[in-house]
Amino acid sequence: MKGRMREAKLRIARRVGGIRASARAAPATCRMLLVSDGREYTSEQQFAPIWRHQRRLRHDLGLAVRWLPLDVALAQLARLSGRFDIVGLKLSFRRPADEIEAIVDRFRALADGADASLVYFDGDDDSGILWPNLLDRADLYVKKHIFHDPAAYAARFVGKSNLTTYVANATGRSFATDIIPSAGGIDPAALGKLHLGWSIALDDKIAGLSPHRPDTDRPIDICGRAYVSPENWLHGLRAPAVAALEAIEGRWKVKVPRGRVSQAEYDREMRAAKICVSPFGYGEICWRDFEAIMSGCLLVKPDTRHIRSLPDLFVAGETYLPVAWDYSDLEAVCAPVLADDGARLAIARTAQNKLIEALSGTWFLDRMGELIRRL
């Protein structure tokens, strides 16, 4: 129910925002239609900075953006022909592959008939590509983050991603009955249309946060709300974090609760902590990473050197501190910066300044400009 209400509010905001952006706007030199099925909130947030900065997109880039829900767009395909230069499409990972391909083919035909470009926006949390055939059908395939080494796409995954594969290998968990029992196996030579877009650092949840100054007067040394139940496959990623945090509670003031709290209490806890440990989730990058940065914490999380993301807020020793995926070195990584406020604050400030810069309209317009130039 909450998810449907949230999506309904987003639909209204998009339409109202589009009207406002068009009023007294500069002439459009490029028209983009965005179409999505609205099934996954976190995926839909890939469009969030577009709506937030659409006035500047129109003024600075001449880009006018309209959004339609999938069912409406499919019913109006004939009327839409010739009215847009770019068609952007986003669909839920829960749809069957043959259904996805059939839908994309219809929008490919729309784009071809109007000499327009087709862009597929993949808002999934992981770095993989679930439907490789879309790389051929689209003119550009936009991901929120990608593998640093293209050869990583050739691997066959147990479950949906490299993270489910890690859990399967580390814990013996089976994904045979999962909604996506296997994936991957993509020829790196087929990745020419893959495009690195922008990460969830630009989601509405993060853009709505107020930065809190990194400081020395914080009563919690390390916080880490990492617990999930053993039934959840994420337990294989997060249980080692909980165990490592609980093992060092006697040496420092560590907050590693297992229960849930309100958002307000969660925010207060983060602002009171010097270090935040942020495990992987359904993908390597989580909202918690950026919540920690905006709260003034030093971010500690599993090593992310295998992926690329923009803004680049995962530079070891500069914007965060990496730990092993099994957290075996957590104490060794945290101890030096807990003994050196200067070093801790320098990293926390650098990360926060970079995130604030990325949330500006100028930074995002540069990213959209790159995308349009590739087309």
Model confidence over 131-166: pLDDT tens digits?
999 999 999 999 999 999 999 999 999 999 999 999
**Cα within 13 Å of Cα(107), Cβ side:** 31
pLDDT in tens, 81-93: 999 999 999 999 9
SS3 119: strand
Site of tokens 């109202």:
16
- Strands 145-147 and 307-309 turn out to be antiparallel
What is the model's pLDDT at position 27?
77
Spatial distance between the Cα atoms of 287 and 307, rounded to a whole number of angstroms: 17
* Residue 17: Cβ within 10 Å count: 17
Q: What is the pLDDT of residue 25?
A: 57
How many other CB atoms sit within 10 Å of the CB of residue 170?
Answer: 14
Task: Map tokens 């090593």 to a residue.
Answer: 303
Identify which of 111, 119, 124 has the alpha carbon closest to the alpha carbon of residue 138.
119
291/281 Cα distance (integer angstroms): 14
CB 299 within 8 A of CB 276: yes
Residue 20 pLDDT greater than 50, yes or no: no
Residues 221-225, mean pLDDT to the nearest whole number: 96
What span, in angstroms and rounded, lies between the C-alpha atoms of 218 and 375?
48
pLDDT > 90: percent of the chain: 91
What percentage of the chain has pLDDT greater than the value 70?
Answer: 93
Helix or strand holding residue 31 (H, E): strand 30-36
Confirm if 147 and 136 have CB atoms less than 8 A apart.
Answer: no
Q: Is the dihedral of CA 346, 350, 353, 359 positive or negative?
A: negative
The confidence score (pLDDT) of residue 259 equals 87
Q: Chain centroid to CA 353: how far?
A: 19
User: How large is the average pLDDT for residues 105-112?
Assistant: 96
Question: What does the DSSP 8-state code read for residue 142?
Answer: E
Mean pLDDT, the chain, rounded, equals 93
Query: Domain boundaries in the chain?
Result: 2-204+361-374, 208-358
Helices (H) and strands (E) in the chain, counts: 16, 15
The pLDDT confidence band at residue 28, using thresholds 50, 70 and 90, is confident
Tokens for 66? 């309209």
Task: Give 111-133 pLDDT, tens digit per residue.
Answer: 999 999 999 999 999 999 999 99
Tokens of 244: 């490592």
Q: How far is CA 189 from CA 52, 132, 232, 308, in A?
A: 35, 12, 35, 18
The pair of structure tokens assigned to 111 is 């784009």
Q: For the beta carbon of residue 157, count every other beta carbon within 10 angstroms.
A: 22
Q: Tell me how crowded residue 78 is: count the other CB atoms within 10 A of its CB.
A: 8
**Owner of token pair 């959004």:** 67
Q: Residue 260 is encoded by which pair of tokens?
A: 């849930």
Q: What is the pLDDT of residue 116?
A: 96
**CA-to-CA separations, 282 to 31, 157, 185, 210, in angstroms, rounded:** 33, 14, 19, 26
Residue 31 pLDDT exceeds 70: yes
Domain 208-358: what homologous superfamily?
Answer: Glycogen Phosphorylase B; (3.40.50.2000)
* Amino acid occupying residue 275: I
Per-residue 3-state assignment (H helix, E strand, C coil) for 4-59: HHHHHHHHHHHHHHHHHHHCCCCCCCEEEEEEECCCCHHHHHHHHHHHHCHHHHHH
User: Within 13 A of 257's CA, how many CA atoms are on the CB side?
Assistant: 8
